[in-house]
Structure 1
Amino acid sequence: MSLLTRIEQFFAPARDVLKPILSDPTVLAAWAAVVLVSTGVLWWDLRKNNEAIPSLMKAVWTLVVLYSGPFGLAVYWYSGRSQIAHDSMWRRGFRSTAHCYSGCGAGEVVGFTLLAGLLALESTLVVTAGTFGFAYLFGYGLTIGPLMQEGVEFGEATMDALYSETPSITVMEITAIGTDLLLAGDAGIAEPLFWGALVFSLSMGFLAAFPVNTALVAFGVKEGMKNPAKMDGSSS
Protein backbone atom coordinates (compact mmCIF):
# COMPACT_ATOMS: atom_id res chain seq x y z
CA MET A 1 0.00 0.00 0.00
CA SER A 2 1.46 3.36 -1.06
CA LEU A 3 1.96 6.28 1.30
CA LEU A 4 -0.62 8.39 -0.55
CA THR A 5 -3.20 5.62 -0.22
CA ARG A 6 -2.55 5.35 3.50
CA ILE A 7 -2.91 9.11 3.92
CA GLU A 8 -6.15 9.07 1.95
CA GLN A 9 -7.55 6.25 4.08
CA PHE A 10 -6.51 8.03 7.28
CA PHE A 11 -8.41 11.19 6.35
CA ALA A 12 -11.37 9.37 4.79
CA PRO A 13 -13.69 9.87 7.83
CA ALA A 14 -13.07 13.65 7.79
CA ARG A 15 -13.57 13.74 4.03
CA ASP A 16 -16.88 11.91 4.31
CA VAL A 17 -18.10 14.53 6.80
CA LEU A 18 -16.83 17.58 4.93
CA LYS A 19 -17.76 16.76 1.33
CA PRO A 20 -21.56 17.04 1.80
CA ILE A 21 -21.13 20.35 3.61
CA LEU A 22 -18.75 21.83 1.04
CA SER A 23 -20.99 20.59 -1.78
CA ASP A 24 -24.07 22.41 -0.50
CA PRO A 25 -24.85 25.55 -2.57
CA THR A 26 -26.68 27.06 0.40
CA VAL A 27 -23.57 26.73 2.55
CA LEU A 28 -21.47 28.35 -0.17
CA ALA A 29 -23.93 31.22 -0.56
CA ALA A 30 -23.99 31.79 3.19
CA TRP A 31 -20.19 31.72 3.30
CA ALA A 32 -19.97 34.25 0.46
CA ALA A 33 -22.28 36.59 2.39
CA VAL A 34 -20.15 36.22 5.54
CA VAL A 35 -16.99 36.95 3.55
CA LEU A 36 -18.54 40.09 2.05
CA VAL A 37 -19.55 41.34 5.51
CA SER A 38 -16.09 40.52 6.92
CA THR A 39 -14.41 42.37 4.04
CA GLY A 40 -16.67 45.37 4.60
CA VAL A 41 -15.73 45.47 8.29
CA LEU A 42 -12.04 45.25 7.36
CA TRP A 43 -12.24 48.10 4.86
CA TRP A 44 -14.24 50.23 7.30
CA ASP A 45 -11.62 49.75 10.00
CA LEU A 46 -8.72 50.37 7.62
CA ARG A 47 -10.28 53.61 6.40
CA LYS A 48 -11.53 54.90 9.74
CA ASN A 49 -8.89 53.72 12.21
CA ASN A 50 -5.85 52.44 10.31
CA GLU A 51 -5.32 54.71 7.33
CA ALA A 52 -1.58 54.85 8.12
CA ILE A 53 -1.10 51.15 7.37
CA PRO A 54 0.82 50.91 4.05
CA SER A 55 -1.10 50.01 0.93
CA LEU A 56 0.68 46.66 0.52
CA MET A 57 -0.48 45.45 3.92
CA LYS A 58 -4.00 46.72 3.23
CA ALA A 59 -3.98 44.53 0.12
CA VAL A 60 -2.56 41.61 2.12
CA TRP A 61 -5.29 41.81 4.75
CA THR A 62 -7.96 42.16 2.08
CA LEU A 63 -6.84 38.93 0.42
CA VAL A 64 -6.60 37.15 3.77
CA VAL A 65 -10.19 38.07 4.61
CA LEU A 66 -11.41 37.19 1.12
CA TYR A 67 -9.81 33.76 1.48
CA SER A 68 -10.83 33.02 5.07
CA GLY A 69 -13.70 35.34 5.98
CA PRO A 70 -14.19 35.90 9.71
CA PHE A 71 -11.11 33.84 10.56
CA GLY A 72 -8.98 36.18 8.44
CA LEU A 73 -10.69 39.20 10.02
CA ALA A 74 -9.90 37.83 13.49
CA VAL A 75 -6.23 37.42 12.54
CA TYR A 76 -6.17 41.03 11.33
CA TRP A 77 -7.88 42.28 14.49
CA TYR A 78 -5.43 40.40 16.71
CA SER A 79 -2.21 41.20 14.91
CA GLY A 80 -2.65 43.71 12.10
CA ARG A 81 -4.22 46.82 13.62
CA SER A 82 -2.24 49.79 14.93
CA GLN A 83 -4.42 49.64 18.06
CA ILE A 84 -2.92 46.38 19.38
CA ALA A 85 -1.80 46.89 22.98
CA HIS A 86 1.65 45.37 22.48
CA ASP A 87 3.44 43.38 19.83
CA SER A 88 4.50 39.77 20.42
CA MET A 89 6.10 36.82 18.68
CA TRP A 90 2.65 35.33 18.04
CA ARG A 91 1.42 38.53 16.41
CA ARG A 92 4.54 38.73 14.26
CA GLY A 93 4.00 35.11 13.28
CA PHE A 94 0.41 35.83 12.26
CA ARG A 95 1.47 38.86 10.19
CA SER A 96 4.24 36.91 8.50
CA THR A 97 1.85 34.07 7.71
CA ALA A 98 -0.74 36.52 6.37
CA HIS A 99 1.85 38.05 4.04
CA CYS A 100 2.84 34.60 2.74
CA TYR A 101 -0.79 33.49 2.58
CA SER A 102 -1.93 36.41 0.44
CA GLY A 103 0.49 35.59 -2.36
CA CYS A 104 0.40 31.80 -2.14
CA GLY A 105 -3.39 31.79 -1.88
CA ALA A 106 -3.64 33.81 -5.07
CA GLY A 107 -1.34 31.33 -6.78
CA GLU A 108 -3.41 28.39 -5.59
CA VAL A 109 -6.67 29.97 -6.73
CA VAL A 110 -5.20 30.76 -10.16
CA GLY A 111 -3.62 27.32 -10.45
CA PHE A 112 -6.68 25.26 -9.60
CA THR A 113 -9.10 27.51 -11.46
CA LEU A 114 -6.99 27.54 -14.62
CA LEU A 115 -5.64 23.99 -14.67
CA ALA A 116 -8.34 21.88 -13.04
CA GLY A 117 -11.21 24.23 -13.85
CA LEU A 118 -10.98 26.09 -17.13
CA LEU A 119 -8.54 23.70 -18.84
CA ALA A 120 -10.13 20.65 -17.15
CA LEU A 121 -6.82 18.80 -17.02
CA GLU A 122 -7.29 15.26 -15.76
CA SER A 123 -3.71 14.60 -14.71
CA THR A 124 -3.45 15.05 -10.95
CA LEU A 125 0.31 15.34 -11.27
CA VAL A 126 0.11 18.17 -13.79
CA VAL A 127 -2.53 20.07 -11.77
CA THR A 128 -0.57 19.63 -8.56
CA ALA A 129 2.77 20.65 -10.05
CA GLY A 130 1.24 23.59 -11.88
CA THR A 131 -0.58 24.87 -8.81
CA PHE A 132 2.59 24.55 -6.73
CA GLY A 133 4.38 26.56 -9.40
CA PHE A 134 1.82 29.36 -9.32
CA ALA A 135 1.89 29.43 -5.51
CA TYR A 136 5.67 29.74 -5.40
CA LEU A 137 5.64 32.37 -8.16
CA PHE A 138 3.07 34.56 -6.43
CA GLY A 139 4.55 33.97 -2.97
CA TYR A 140 8.09 34.87 -4.00
CA GLY A 141 6.84 37.80 -6.05
CA LEU A 142 5.19 39.38 -3.03
CA THR A 143 8.57 39.39 -1.29
CA ILE A 144 10.84 40.23 -4.23
CA GLY A 145 8.71 43.15 -5.46
CA PRO A 146 8.73 45.21 -2.25
CA LEU A 147 12.45 44.53 -1.69
CA MET A 148 13.27 45.84 -5.16
CA GLN A 149 11.12 48.91 -4.48
CA GLU A 150 13.41 49.54 -1.50
CA GLY A 151 16.45 49.46 -3.79
CA VAL A 152 17.57 45.84 -3.35
CA GLU A 153 18.98 44.24 -6.50
CA PHE A 154 16.90 41.52 -8.17
CA GLY A 155 19.41 38.75 -7.48
CA GLU A 156 19.75 39.62 -3.81
CA ALA A 157 15.98 39.99 -3.41
CA THR A 158 15.42 36.62 -5.07
CA MET A 159 17.91 34.86 -2.81
CA ASP A 160 16.34 36.49 0.24
CA ALA A 161 12.89 35.29 -0.86
CA LEU A 162 14.12 31.75 -1.52
CA TYR A 163 15.83 31.60 1.87
CA SER A 164 13.07 33.11 3.96
CA GLU A 165 9.87 32.05 2.20
CA THR A 166 10.47 28.52 0.88
CA PRO A 167 9.81 26.61 4.14
CA SER A 168 6.50 28.33 4.86
CA ILE A 169 5.30 28.22 1.24
CA THR A 170 6.12 24.52 1.01
CA VAL A 171 4.26 23.59 4.17
CA MET A 172 1.32 25.82 3.30
CA GLU A 173 0.91 24.42 -0.19
CA ILE A 174 1.44 20.77 0.70
CA THR A 175 -1.38 21.15 3.20
CA ALA A 176 -3.66 23.30 1.05
CA ILE A 177 -3.22 21.48 -2.25
CA GLY A 178 -3.33 18.09 -0.55
CA THR A 179 -6.57 19.02 1.22
CA ASP A 180 -8.14 20.28 -2.00
CA LEU A 181 -7.22 17.15 -3.94
CA LEU A 182 -8.45 14.91 -1.12
CA LEU A 183 -11.84 16.62 -1.01
CA ALA A 184 -12.44 17.59 -4.62
CA GLY A 185 -9.92 15.82 -6.82
CA ASP A 186 -12.59 14.89 -9.38
CA ALA A 187 -14.82 17.98 -9.09
CA GLY A 188 -15.36 20.28 -12.06
CA ILE A 189 -15.36 24.08 -11.99
CA ALA A 190 -19.17 24.18 -12.23
CA GLU A 191 -19.63 22.04 -9.12
CA PRO A 192 -20.05 23.69 -5.69
CA LEU A 193 -17.55 21.20 -4.22
CA PHE A 194 -14.79 22.64 -6.43
CA TRP A 195 -15.14 26.05 -4.78
CA GLY A 196 -16.06 24.83 -1.32
CA ALA A 197 -12.98 22.62 -1.12
CA LEU A 198 -10.76 25.40 -2.49
CA VAL A 199 -11.94 27.83 0.19
CA PHE A 200 -11.55 25.26 2.97
CA SER A 201 -8.10 24.18 1.80
CA LEU A 202 -6.79 27.74 1.84
CA SER A 203 -7.52 28.14 5.55
CA MET A 204 -5.98 24.74 6.29
CA GLY A 205 -2.82 25.94 4.58
CA PHE A 206 -2.74 29.06 6.77
CA LEU A 207 -3.06 27.01 9.96
CA ALA A 208 -0.28 24.65 8.90
CA ALA A 209 2.09 27.47 7.94
CA PHE A 210 1.55 29.57 11.09
CA PRO A 211 3.89 27.61 13.41
CA VAL A 212 6.51 27.47 10.64
CA ASN A 213 6.44 31.24 10.13
CA THR A 214 6.49 31.88 13.86
CA ALA A 215 9.57 29.67 14.20
CA LEU A 216 11.28 31.42 11.27
CA VAL A 217 10.63 34.78 12.92
CA ALA A 218 11.81 33.49 16.30
CA PHE A 219 15.11 32.22 14.84
CA GLY A 220 15.69 35.35 12.80
CA VAL A 221 15.26 33.75 9.38
CA LYS A 222 12.40 36.15 8.71
CA GLU A 223 12.04 39.60 10.18
CA GLY A 224 8.29 39.38 10.33
CA MET A 225 6.06 42.26 9.29
CA LYS A 226 6.56 45.58 11.07
CA ASN A 227 4.51 46.37 14.17
CA PRO A 228 1.45 48.19 12.74
CA ALA A 229 1.51 50.60 15.69
CA LYS A 230 4.83 51.91 14.34
CA MET A 231 3.77 52.20 10.71
CA ASP A 232 3.59 55.74 9.37
CA GLY A 233 2.54 54.85 5.84
CA SER A 234 5.74 56.13 4.32
CA SER A 235 6.91 52.73 3.09
CA SER A 236 5.26 49.68 1.57
Structure 2
Amino acid sequence: MPLTQLITQIERAFEPVREILVPILSNPAVLGMWLALVGVSVSTLWWDINKRNQALPSLMKGVWTLVVLYSGPFGLTLYWYAGRTQISQDSLWRRGVRSTAHCYSGCGAGEVVGVTLAQGVLALAVGWVAAITFGFAYLFGFALTVGPLLQEGVAFRDAVADAFYSETPSITIMEIVAIGADLLLASQAHMGDILFWMALAFSLSLGFIAAFPVNVALVKFGVKEGMKNPAEMGDQTTAQVQTTD
Protein backbone atom coordinates (compact mmCIF):
# COMPACT_ATOMS: atom_id res chain seq x y z
CA MET A 1 0.00 0.00 0.00
CA PRO A 2 1.45 3.43 -0.96
CA LEU A 3 2.40 5.67 1.94
CA THR A 4 -0.04 8.40 0.91
CA GLN A 5 -2.96 5.96 0.98
CA LEU A 6 -1.90 4.70 4.41
CA ILE A 7 -1.74 8.26 5.75
CA THR A 8 -5.16 9.01 4.29
CA GLN A 9 -6.65 5.93 5.95
CA ILE A 10 -5.12 6.88 9.30
CA GLU A 11 -6.51 10.40 9.02
CA ARG A 12 -9.98 9.05 8.27
CA ALA A 13 -9.83 6.60 11.15
CA PHE A 14 -8.93 9.34 13.63
CA GLU A 15 -11.22 12.03 12.19
CA PRO A 16 -13.84 11.60 14.97
CA VAL A 17 -11.11 12.13 17.59
CA ARG A 18 -9.83 15.16 15.71
CA GLU A 19 -13.30 16.70 15.56
CA ILE A 20 -13.55 16.44 19.36
CA LEU A 21 -10.05 17.61 20.25
CA VAL A 22 -9.43 20.48 17.83
CA PRO A 23 -12.15 22.78 19.26
CA ILE A 24 -10.94 22.05 22.80
CA LEU A 25 -7.27 22.66 21.97
CA SER A 26 -8.19 25.87 20.12
CA ASN A 27 -10.06 27.37 23.07
CA PRO A 28 -8.33 30.40 24.72
CA ALA A 29 -9.80 29.43 28.10
CA VAL A 30 -8.24 25.98 27.83
CA LEU A 31 -4.88 27.58 26.98
CA GLY A 32 -5.11 29.89 29.97
CA MET A 33 -6.03 27.06 32.31
CA TRP A 34 -3.20 24.91 30.93
CA LEU A 35 -0.61 27.66 31.40
CA ALA A 36 -1.79 28.15 34.98
CA LEU A 37 -1.53 24.42 35.69
CA VAL A 38 1.96 24.28 34.19
CA GLY A 39 3.04 27.28 36.26
CA VAL A 40 1.74 25.75 39.50
CA SER A 41 3.28 22.37 38.62
CA VAL A 42 6.74 23.82 37.89
CA SER A 43 6.61 25.91 41.07
CA THR A 44 5.67 22.84 43.11
CA LEU A 45 8.46 20.82 41.50
CA TRP A 46 11.13 23.36 42.34
CA TRP A 47 9.80 23.95 45.83
CA ASP A 48 10.09 20.22 46.48
CA ILE A 49 13.53 19.97 44.87
CA ASN A 50 14.93 22.90 46.87
CA LYS A 51 13.33 21.90 50.17
CA ARG A 52 13.46 18.11 50.12
CA ASN A 53 15.38 16.76 47.13
CA GLN A 54 18.57 18.74 46.74
CA ALA A 55 20.41 15.42 46.51
CA LEU A 56 19.17 14.95 42.96
CA PRO A 57 21.94 15.54 40.40
CA SER A 58 21.70 18.63 38.21
CA LEU A 59 20.93 16.51 35.15
CA MET A 60 17.82 14.99 36.71
CA LYS A 61 16.68 18.35 38.07
CA GLY A 62 16.82 19.61 34.51
CA VAL A 63 15.11 16.49 33.18
CA TRP A 64 12.17 16.78 35.57
CA THR A 65 11.85 20.50 34.92
CA LEU A 66 11.45 19.88 31.20
CA VAL A 67 9.05 16.98 31.79
CA VAL A 68 6.82 19.18 33.95
CA LEU A 69 7.05 22.07 31.46
CA TYR A 70 5.89 19.76 28.67
CA SER A 71 3.22 17.87 30.58
CA GLY A 72 2.17 19.99 33.56
CA PRO A 73 0.37 18.02 36.30
CA PHE A 74 0.98 14.75 34.45
CA GLY A 75 4.73 15.41 34.52
CA LEU A 76 4.61 16.39 38.19
CA THR A 77 2.79 13.14 38.99
CA LEU A 78 5.54 11.19 37.23
CA TYR A 79 8.19 13.01 39.28
CA TRP A 80 6.32 12.31 42.52
CA TYR A 81 5.99 8.64 41.63
CA ALA A 82 9.53 7.91 40.47
CA GLY A 83 11.86 10.89 40.78
CA ARG A 84 12.02 11.86 44.47
CA THR A 85 14.42 10.63 47.12
CA GLN A 86 11.38 9.82 49.28
CA ILE A 87 10.08 6.94 47.13
CA SER A 88 9.51 4.00 49.45
CA GLN A 89 10.60 1.22 47.13
CA ASP A 90 12.10 1.29 43.65
CA SER A 91 10.67 -0.95 40.95
CA LEU A 92 10.92 -1.77 37.26
CA TRP A 93 7.99 0.58 36.63
CA ARG A 94 9.67 3.48 38.40
CA ARG A 95 12.93 2.83 36.56
CA GLY A 96 10.93 2.79 33.34
CA VAL A 97 9.38 6.15 34.20
CA ARG A 98 12.78 7.70 34.92
CA SER A 99 14.27 6.26 31.76
CA THR A 100 11.36 7.54 29.68
CA ALA A 101 11.57 10.95 31.37
CA HIS A 102 15.26 11.21 30.50
CA CYS A 103 14.51 10.41 26.85
CA TYR A 104 11.43 12.64 26.86
CA SER A 105 13.26 15.72 28.10
CA GLY A 106 15.71 15.73 25.20
CA CYS A 107 13.34 14.53 22.50
CA GLY A 108 10.67 16.98 23.62
CA ALA A 109 13.06 19.92 23.27
CA GLY A 110 14.05 18.70 19.82
CA GLU A 111 10.43 18.28 18.81
CA VAL A 112 9.52 21.80 19.92
CA VAL A 113 12.46 23.23 17.97
CA GLY A 114 11.74 21.09 14.91
CA VAL A 115 8.01 21.80 14.68
CA THR A 116 8.48 25.51 15.36
CA LEU A 117 11.17 25.82 12.70
CA ALA A 118 9.74 23.54 10.00
CA GLN A 119 6.04 24.31 10.37
CA GLY A 120 5.82 27.57 12.27
CA VAL A 121 8.67 29.51 10.62
CA LEU A 122 9.33 27.85 7.25
CA ALA A 123 5.76 26.56 6.63
CA LEU A 124 7.06 23.42 4.93
CA ALA A 125 4.97 20.52 3.64
CA VAL A 126 3.81 17.90 6.14
CA GLY A 127 6.40 15.33 5.08
CA TRP A 128 9.26 17.76 5.59
CA VAL A 129 7.85 18.87 8.95
CA ALA A 130 7.74 15.26 10.12
CA ALA A 131 11.27 14.49 8.87
CA ILE A 132 12.90 17.63 10.26
CA THR A 133 11.11 17.34 13.59
CA PHE A 134 12.15 13.69 13.96
CA GLY A 135 15.72 14.65 13.13
CA PHE A 136 15.86 17.35 15.80
CA ALA A 137 14.16 15.11 18.38
CA TYR A 138 16.58 12.26 17.71
CA LEU A 139 19.59 14.59 17.80
CA PHE A 140 18.58 16.17 21.11
CA GLY A 141 17.68 12.85 22.73
CA PHE A 142 20.88 11.24 21.45
CA ALA A 143 23.03 14.11 22.74
CA LEU A 144 21.43 13.94 26.20
CA THR A 145 22.65 10.33 26.45
CA VAL A 146 26.08 10.72 24.83
CA GLY A 147 27.01 13.83 26.83
CA PRO A 148 26.77 12.30 30.32
CA LEU A 149 28.59 9.16 29.13
CA LEU A 150 31.49 11.28 27.87
CA GLN A 151 31.58 13.11 31.22
CA GLU A 152 31.89 9.74 32.95
CA GLY A 153 34.98 8.99 30.88
CA VAL A 154 33.45 6.66 28.29
CA ALA A 155 35.20 6.80 24.93
CA PHE A 156 33.31 8.75 22.25
CA ARG A 157 32.88 5.74 19.97
CA ASP A 158 31.56 3.57 22.81
CA ALA A 159 29.25 6.34 24.01
CA VAL A 160 27.75 6.77 20.55
CA ALA A 161 27.29 3.02 20.10
CA ASP A 162 25.66 2.68 23.54
CA ALA A 163 23.31 5.61 22.90
CA PHE A 164 22.38 4.28 19.47
CA TYR A 165 21.14 0.85 20.50
CA SER A 166 19.73 1.90 23.87
CA GLU A 167 17.85 5.05 22.83
CA THR A 168 16.80 4.47 19.21
CA PRO A 169 13.77 2.22 19.95
CA SER A 170 12.40 4.59 22.59
CA ILE A 171 12.97 7.76 20.54
CA THR A 172 11.47 6.20 17.42
CA ILE A 173 8.22 5.11 19.08
CA MET A 174 7.93 8.33 21.05
CA GLU A 175 8.32 10.52 17.99
CA ILE A 176 6.14 8.48 15.65
CA VAL A 177 3.26 8.91 18.09
CA ALA A 178 4.03 12.51 19.11
CA ILE A 179 4.73 13.89 15.65
CA GLY A 180 1.87 11.90 14.14
CA ALA A 181 -0.60 13.22 16.73
CA ASP A 182 0.64 16.79 16.36
CA LEU A 183 0.33 16.78 12.58
CA LEU A 184 -3.03 15.03 12.70
CA LEU A 185 -4.40 17.78 14.94
CA ALA A 186 -2.58 20.88 13.76
CA SER A 187 -0.83 20.36 10.42
CA GLN A 188 -2.49 23.51 9.04
CA ALA A 189 -2.02 25.65 12.15
CA HIS A 190 0.32 28.64 12.32
CA MET A 191 2.52 29.86 15.17
CA GLY A 192 -0.02 32.48 16.10
CA ASP A 193 -2.77 29.88 16.54
CA ILE A 194 -3.57 28.48 19.96
CA LEU A 195 -4.00 25.07 18.33
CA PHE A 196 -0.36 25.07 17.19
CA TRP A 197 0.93 25.15 20.77
CA MET A 198 -1.78 23.16 22.51
CA ALA A 199 -1.57 20.31 19.98
CA LEU A 200 2.20 20.26 20.48
CA ALA A 201 1.84 20.00 24.26
CA PHE A 202 -0.84 17.33 23.97
CA SER A 203 1.17 15.27 21.49
CA LEU A 204 4.28 15.37 23.67
CA SER A 205 2.45 13.63 26.53
CA LEU A 206 1.08 11.03 24.13
CA GLY A 207 4.65 10.35 23.03
CA PHE A 208 5.69 9.74 26.65
CA ILE A 209 2.85 7.26 27.17
CA ALA A 210 3.75 5.38 23.97
CA ALA A 211 7.46 5.17 24.85
CA PHE A 212 6.96 4.08 28.46
CA PRO A 213 6.38 0.33 27.80
CA VAL A 214 9.32 0.35 25.38
CA ASN A 215 11.61 1.72 28.08
CA VAL A 216 10.28 -0.74 30.65
CA ALA A 217 11.17 -3.58 28.27
CA LEU A 218 14.61 -2.12 27.53
CA VAL A 219 15.37 -1.83 31.26
CA LYS A 220 13.96 -5.28 32.02
CA PHE A 221 16.17 -6.98 29.43
CA GLY A 222 19.27 -5.00 30.31
CA VAL A 223 19.49 -2.92 27.13
CA LYS A 224 19.22 0.19 29.28
CA GLU A 225 20.42 0.46 32.87
CA GLY A 226 17.68 2.87 33.86
CA MET A 227 18.31 6.01 35.87
CA LYS A 228 19.67 5.61 39.39
CA ASN A 229 17.27 5.17 42.30
CA PRO A 230 16.90 8.69 43.80
CA ALA A 231 16.22 7.21 47.25
CA GLU A 232 19.84 6.00 47.32
CA MET A 233 21.02 9.55 46.63
CA GLY A 234 19.03 10.78 49.60
CA ASP A 235 20.55 8.08 51.82
CA GLN A 236 24.06 9.04 50.71
CA THR A 237 23.43 12.73 51.47
CA THR A 238 22.07 11.90 54.92
CA ALA A 239 25.07 9.70 55.67
CA GLN A 240 27.49 12.46 54.60
CA VAL A 241 25.77 14.99 56.85
CA GLN A 242 25.86 12.60 59.83
CA THR A 243 29.56 11.88 59.21
CA THR A 244 30.34 15.61 59.08
CA ASP A 245 28.44 16.22 62.30
What TM-score range do you get, normalising by the shorter chain? over 0.9
Based on CA coordinates, which of the two structures has the bigger radius of gyration? 2
Q: Mind listing any 5+ residue stretches in structure 1 that lack a counterpart?
A: none
Q: Which residue of 1 aligns with 2:121?
A: 118
Q: Which residue of 2 aligns with 1:29?
A: 32
The Cα shift of 1:74 comes to: 0.2
- TM (norm. structure 1) is 0.97
- TM (norm. structure 2) is 0.93
Query: Residues 81-130 of structure 1: CA distance to partner in whole angstroms, max 9, x if unpaired?
Result: 00000000000000000000000000000000111112222x11111110
Q: Which residue of 2 aligns with 1:163?
A: 165
2:202 paired with 1:213: no
Q: Name the CA distance, whole Å, in 2 between partners of 1:146 and 1:85.
A: 27
Q: Which residue of 2 aligns with 1:69?
A: 72
2:88 paired with 1:85: yes
Q: Name the CA distance, whole Å, in 2 between partners of 1:3 and 1:184.
A: 19
Q: Name the CA distance, whole Å, in 1 between partners of 2:13 and 2:222.
A: 36
Determine helix, strand or coil for the equivalent of 2:153. Answer: coil
Q: Which residue of 2 aligns with 1:183?
A: 185
From 91, 94, 97, the counterpart of 1:94: 97
Q: Mind listing any 5+ residue stretches in structure 2 that lack a counterpart?
A: 238-245
Q: Which residue of 1 aligns with 2:242?
A: none
From 107, 111, 136, the counterpart of 1:108: 111
State the percentage of identical aligned residues.
69
Query: Residues 34-71 of structure 1: CA distance to partner in whole angstroms, max 9, x if unpaired?
Result: 00000000000000000000000000000000000000
Q: Name the CA distance, whole Å, in 1 between partners of 2:130 and 2:95.
A: 30
2:41 paired with 1:38: yes
Letter of the 1:23 partner, please give it. S
User: Size of the alignment, in residue pairs?
Assistant: 232
The Cα shift of 1:26 comes to: 1.3
2:17 paired with 1:5: no
Query: Residues 131-156 of structure 1: CA distance to partner in whole angstroms, max 9, x if unpaired?
Result: 00000000000000000000011111
Q: Which residue of 2 aligns with 1:230?
A: 232
Determine helix, strand or coil for the equivalent of 1:53. Answer: coil
Determine helix, strand or coil for the equivalent of 2:56. Answer: coil
The runs of 4+ residues in structure 1 deviating greater than 2 Å are: none
Provide the alpha-carbon RMSD of the alignment. 1.0
